[in-house]
């Protein structure tokens, strides 16, 4: 089993739709959680951190459920510019450096 698993997708949605991505992680010692966005042929960039209390940034809402080891990302009122691959990332500090583990990503295409 992979340490971080995401919905495989792809998700194809019309503009204005609401879409949710799910992610589960297997290591209960994981400490920090993130959603990254990766555009085609570009490097990943942080979209938002994920907290147990949930956090919202405009149209984006991220949730963490430590008991279920589950992370979600909700995008409301999808825009064409939201089309990208979304990566779930889990961080664990088991050494001085720590280690980030990436999910395989979920591809979103928003269509007019």
Partner 1 sequence: SAVISQKPSRDICQRGTSLTIQCQVDSQVTMMFWYRQQPGQSLTLIATANQGSEATYESGFVIDKFPISRPNLTFSTLTVSNMSPEDSSIYLCSVVKQGNTGELFFGEGSRLTVL
Query: Min. distance of Cβ 96 from partner 1 in angstroms?
Result: 8
Q: In angstroms, give the least distance from the CB of 66 to partner 1.
A: 15
Q: Least distance from C-beta 108 to partner 1, angstroms?
A: 15
CB closer to partner 1 out of 67 and 97: 97
Cβ 48 vs Cβ 60: under 8 Å: yes
Q: Which of 28/112 has CB closer to partner 1?
A: 28
Residue closer to partner 1 (CB basis): 46 or 80: 46
Q: For binding to partner 1 (CB under 8 A), which residues are involved?
A: 31-32, 34, 36, 41-46, 49, 87, 89, 91, 93, 95-105
User: Which residue, 16 or 98, is less far from partner 1 as judged by CB?
Assistant: 98
Which DSSP letter does residue 108 get? Answer: E
Nearest to 63 by CA among 24, 94, 101, 104: 24
- DSSP 3-state assignment of 50? strand
Rounded Cα–Cα distance for residues 102 and 41 (Å): 17
CA dist., res. 67 & res. 70, Å (int): 8
């Amino acid at each position: 089993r992979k340490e971080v698993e995401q919905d495989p997708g792809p998700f194809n949605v019309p503009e204005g739709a609401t879409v949710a991505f799910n992610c589960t992680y297997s290591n209960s010692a994981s400490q920090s959680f993130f959603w990254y966005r990766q555009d085609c042929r570009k490097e990943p960039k942080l979209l938002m951190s994920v907290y147990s209390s949930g956090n919202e940034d405009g149209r984006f809402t991220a949730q963490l459920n430590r008991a279920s080891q589950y992370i979600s990302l909700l995008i409301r009122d999808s825009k064409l510019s939201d089309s990208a691959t979304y990566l779930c990332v889990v961080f664990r500090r088991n050494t001085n450096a720590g280690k980030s583990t990436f999910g395989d990503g979920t591809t979103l295409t928003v269509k007019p």
